[in-house]
Every structure is written in C-alpha cells, then in structure tokens.
Structure 1
C-alpha cells in the first residue's frame, strides 16, 4: 500500500470512501482477491460486489478493518489516527521552521465533512469524538499551542454535535454545541462562535422551540457583526431567524429576514471560511421551502423545494433525501397526491444504510401525511412499498438507532 499512498486516484477513492475502487487498485498491483477478502474479513462474493460497484462499504467498523489491514492512514478515510500510526510529534521535538498543524486539521475536517454528507452522522460520530479525544484535546493543555487549536476543537466539537443530532441524540448534540461556543470564543474566532450559535438555533427549531431558536439566531448575528464579515454565515443566521419567525407565524418579519439572507448570500465569495459549516444556494433553497411552507405560501415553497432537489442531485445523499421529503410534504399540502407519491418513489432509492436518524424520522412523518389518503390506490401501493423498505432499513441501521423508552427502535 505504501506505493499507492502517493497516487491521486487512491486519495480520491479514499475521500469518496469508495472501497471498491481501493480494492480494484490493490488487485491491479498484484494483491489477490482472496488475500484482500481475508484481510478485510469479508467473503469473496461481497468483495466482488464492492469491486463491481453493486454495493458500497458503509459500516464504520469495516472502514476501520480495511484501514488497519492495508495501512491506510485514518485521516484519509475520515477516521481517528489508527493505533499503528506514529504519534504526532510533540512541540519540543518539532523543528522551529515546521509548518503549523492547521493543514492536517483542515484535511481531517474536510474528510469527516465529505464522509458525513454521504454516509450520515450515525456512522461517523464515534470517529469524530475519538479524533477530538486523541488528537485535539492533548493540544488544548499544551502551553506551546496557540489559539488556533481552540478553533480546531470548537469546529470539530460542533461537527460532533451535528452528527449526534443526525444520530437522534439531540440532548448530546446540545451539549456539544454548548462546549463548542466557549472554545470558539477563546480562540478569538468570532465567525466560528456565530456559526455555533446558528447550529444551536437549528437544534432549537428541531425541538419546536421557536423563541429559543430566534434568540440563538440573534446571538449569532451579534457575534458576526463583531468579527470579519462572512456573508454566507450571516445568510445562514438570517435564514435561521426567518425559520423561527415563520414557525411563530410572524409573516412580515420572517419575509424580511429571508430577504436579508438572500442578499447576503449574493455577496458570498466562492471560498468558504475553513471552519464554518458550508451554506450555499442549495441550502438556502431548502430552508426557503420550509419557511414558505410554514407561512402557507405553498406555490413559492414548491418552487424552492424543486430547486433544492435539482441542486442536490449529486454528491450529497442525506441532503437530497431531506430535500425530497420537503418536496413531497409540500405536494401533499397542495393536495397534489400523485406528485407526492412520485417523489416518494424517488425517496425509496435513498441508500438504506444511510446512517441518518433525521432522515428516518422525516420519512416517517411523510408517511403520516400520506396515511389519510390510503383509500387512493397509488397511495396505498406506495405505503406498502414504503413499509417494506422501512423494515429493511431498520435492520441495516440497528447498530446506530437509539432505542425508544419502550425498548424498540424508533
């Protein structure tokens, strides 16, 4: 594997978490399929499925097995440093002219972010927490570390919060966000602190607390005005504010906040702030659809929902699924059940191993919206397909789905 680590094709395959491509490259270098299967602890039949693109590696434990078997550094696959990797040099052993660790931190962050978009937070939460514990936390108490390490800790802690939320653990997510904010403040990175406030606003919205969501959005906007201007960040904050106001039926203030978000995003530069959650045209379209839906402006909501789906049709499995759910929801509210069923069938193509409890929960909510129309044949047929797909999905996600108080998954 050492000779492959400099190959751009391998690096791209690792970034995409395309283990089938990695296996093909190993095989082309003379590693037999039997040896690959044995090292990865999978059957040869399953190996051929991966190599032929019939299925993808999804489980975190299997990524770790592959990384250890073929000595793939953990950060290339969005994993914590493996036990066999050399420990990072301590400050007293680093050369004075050695580069700061920002590059490695950014690479790890981007790997986690890319993998999260495709596989869902449930698959990666443990890896991010271990990375924080093993690679970042020791540097926080190192007297030679600068304020930048606190920004690294804040950004990754916020990411862990999102992954906990995606895994159905909102209390845990709130604790991560609560820890991330003071870390961001200590770092002096006010845009990062404002970004954490935006995440807290989103979480409050998910809990149905519009007043708290609006308060967090205002806090974020106050922080954002004190630091360097980042238009994409203020666009996100104005959007969260608009969503909170729309939930509270504050039509005119919500419309003004949404207009402000649109104006700010038009000013956004092509380059993102390295530690902030990306907020782009597709994200704004998705949020706008929800805002206008809550304001009962269903025709405009439909336009934005269709735009969000079109912009997410490649590269982001979870975002596409969530956008399609919103689109189907709006069709139901507009009494266009046929259109809702059509989008619903598209949703069934969502990877059953996508580790996102948020998607499972919203799919269930869509089912509840369609249930009153069960007497209509196409809806009845779709619900049968939906229930079959849900049972299969729950079996595949059994390792990450939190039990309900009654002791059964969701």
Structure 2
C-alpha cells in the first residue's frame, strides 16, 4: 500500500473532484464487492454501499440514476446492462474499471492507493500478458482474478448491440402509465413538476445512441409524457404552453409509428382551443384525430368524435353536432374493456358522459344533459374533483337555459367555491366565468358566484 499524504482522502487526491458515493478503500478490496462487480450486479453494489452508510440520494447524484430506481435495484428489482451506465456507476462509486470489466477509468491515475493492490494481482497492465493470463486461466478451468470473465465479455457485446438502458426505459414507461391515472387529489402544479423531471429523463436517453426499436419506444413514452404534461397545462389555464406541448407530443407520436397515440394527442389537443374560445380550430383538430384513429373502434376514435360533437355544438352547427354525438355513442358501445380503462389515455364511460354533458348542454337539450350528468356522478363513489365541478357547472348552465336562474347561480358558486385553490384555475374557471357572464345582471345569487370567482 502507498502511504497516504495529508493531501489525500480515501486514496484520492484532494484536487480530484469528489464523488458523494465514493466507497472507502477497505470496501473496494472486499470479496463481496469484487464478486458483485465481476457479475456486474449493480443492485448488489448499491445495497453494499447503502449498508455502509451511503444514501440512495448520494448514489443517485454520483451515478446519474433516479434515487427511486437506485432503491429498487438495491432491493433486487431490475438490472443495469448498458455500458455507459455501468461506467457512471464505476465513476460514482470510485470502483476501478477492471473490477467491472472496463478499461481503466480516467480518475484512476489520480488515485494510486486504489489501484496499487489491484496491480499486484496481475503482472503489469500489458495487454498481451493479460490476454495470456486469461487464456491460461480458461485452459485450467479457473477464473483469473481481476480479469474480465467470459460473462462480462458477453454482457459488453450484448450491451453494444442493445445500446440502451432497458431498465431506465421501462421505468419511464411505468411512469407514463402512472400519470395516466390522473391527479388522485394531488395539486396539478405538483404533478407538473414530476412530469417535467421525467420528460428530462427521456431527453437524456434520446441524447445517447439508441437502436431503432429503443428509439421508437422512447418516442412513444415521450409522446405519452408530453401529452400528459399538456393536459395538466390545459387544466391549470396555461393554454398557450399546453398547445406547444401537444405539438411536441404529436411529433413524438409520429416518430413512434403509433397511429392511436397520434390520434389521442390530436383529440386531447383539440380540447384546448375548444375550452378557450376557438371551436373552429377544435373541430379541425378533432377531425384530424378521427382520420388518424381509423375505422376501428378505439378510445382515441371515441374521444375524437365526442370532442367534435362539442366543437360543432359550440359553433351552433346542430346537425353535425348531433351526428358526432351519435358516432361517439356508437364507438363507446364498441370499444374493448382495455380501451375503456379509466385513464387519460383510455375512454371510460364516465369521461364519455362528461363530454356528452357539455355537448348536450351547448345544444340546449337539457333533459338528456341532466340524465347523463346524473349517470356520470353515479358511476363512481367519489368522482374526481375536476369531474364533479365540471358536471355541476354544466347542470347550472342547463338550469339557466330552463329559467332557473337563482338555483343555477347557487349551484355554480357551490361547485366552484368549494374547489381547492389548485383546481380553481384554467378549465374550471373558464366554465364558471362563462356561466357568470350568461346570468342576468340582476339575477339573485349572481353575487355568490362573483365572490367565489374573486376568491
């Protein structure tokens, strides 16, 4: 061993940028660490580091892997095969490259105490001598300490062809599915932050060389995440940014080659101009979505028909609106249970009824509108905050149409005024404002809705 000088710590020169997850010298020569590194069992290495006091957050920072995934790997859930990620782990934990079957890491020249004992295990670093040692060891049926094993060589070759971190990609696909289940009572602004982080993770993977298959998967998950982020932007009232995110989601969907994803993005995009005063633009986007979805019944096809119905109704085109309502009803009855899943990408019956409520309300067909509103509220014990508020404001609009002005004002004020602050923006505010403007100036109860909007 070399003698530590006052300017070194754990064998590292102080002018070497420190790693928050660097393993102490004794651990680097520990048989358990050496065995885990030879297997390239990154999860086991993380578990050992954590056991000796290195937090998952420090490992995450040092290795560039989300902390949640670091924890899952340490518990044996998943694996890492991509060479570039394994190199980041070697650098983050300060493990010499040869332990993991890698070339010497750039920082090793500054850390003599780390490599001195390793150098004693094999006669120099001459490639010919290392090759002869490996051949001799294989001929004798034993493994050469510190040399890449055949398994490591196969893993490197396999990773070179795969050239992506499958576990990172699978994690992001799982995140996209999780977001699709909606807010679950979370403040939309908190959901925005989490979505933005995961979109950044997609960009990180896209910046690396990928196989064509992996890039299509990344494009698909990128389209889902960008579309979900656009939905939240729309809901909180940032409609200009929402349109930009939907455009990005459409480009990602196009690269993924998934027509249904493209149709879903267009259908959801159409809801932005629809809810913010441009029904003609909404009708155009909805028609494009219907074309993209094709003839087969699907969630995007049903959504596009429902949004088209609302857009035509908002334009006063009663004939086309009623035809689109009929199409949406037909498709709702034909889609599979999987397509009718209660997610942002699915088209459950409750979501369908919310769209029908708005379309029928705009058409002045209040008897049918009241019926679908009641059915929508009965389909779950606890409808989402957004769903309950929008249905109540639709009901208030129907009451205005039927001359029940005071009850309409009270209904809307109660629905909007009891929403948490994070939900009194964007779409719900636009609907409540539209109703407030439709009330006569001298309407009883109008001041209640005015106060709720002012708050």
| TM-score, structure 2 as length reference | 0.59
Counterpart of 2:349 in structure 1 is: 281
Distance 1:163 1:102 in 2: 23
Change (3 A) 1:167 1:349: closer
Q: Is 1:91 aligned to 2:71, yes or no?
A: no
Distance 1:325 1:310 in 2: 17
Q: Is 1:192 aligned to 2:261, yes or no?
A: yes
Q: Is 1:324 aligned to 2:392, yes or no?
A: yes
Q: Is 1:104 aligned to 2:104, yes or no?
A: no
Matches within 5 A, 1:43-82: 81=66
Q: CA deviation at 1:160?
A: 1.2
Matches within 5 A, 1:281-320: 281-311=349-379, 314-320=382-388
Which consecutive residues of structure 2, in runs of 5 or more, have no partner in the other structure?
A: 1-54, 58-64, 74-78, 87-154, 160-164
Q: CA deviation at 1:246?
A: 1.6
Q: CA deviation at 1:324?
A: 1.2
| TM-score, structure 1 as length reference | 0.65
Counterpart of 1:166 in structure 2 is: 235
Distance 1:211 1:110 in 2: 32
Higher relative contact order (CA 8 A, sep 6+): 1
> Of 405, 409, 423, which residue of structure 2 is paired with 1:354?
423
Matches within 5 A, 1:11-410: 81=66, 89=80, 91-92=82-83, 101=168, 103-114=170-181, 116-133=183-200, 135-144=201-210, 145-225=214-294, 229-272=296-339, 277-311=345-379, 314-341=382-409, 343-344=411-412, 346-347=414-415, 348-354=417-423, 356-370=425-439, 372-374=441-443, 376=444, 379=445, 383-384=447-448, 386=449, 389-390=452-453, 394=455
Q: CA deviation at 1:143?
A: 2.3
Confirm or deny: 8 A CA contact 1:105 1:152 kept in the other structure.
yes
Which consecutive residues of structure 1, in runs of 5 or more, have no partner in the other structure?
A: 1-69, 73-79, 395-410
> How much is the aligned-residue C-alpha RMSD, in angstroms?
3.4
Q: Which has the larger radius of gyration?
A: 2
Counterpart of 1:7 in structure 2 is: none
Distance 2:268 2:452 in 1: 31
Distance 2:348 2:304 in 1: 13
Distance 1:237 1:329 in 2: 24
Change (3 A) 1:115 1:232: closer
Q: CA deviation at 1:104?
A: 2.2
Distance 1:338 1:160 in 2: 38
Q: Once structures 1 and 2 are overlaid, which stretch shifts more, 350-359 or 244-253? A: 350-359
Secondary structure of 1:203's match? helix
Distance 2:408 2:56 in 1: 47
The alignment of Structure 1 onto Structure 2 pairs a total of residues equal to 307
Q: CA deviation at 1:362?
A: 2.4
Q: CA deviation at 1:232?
A: 2.0
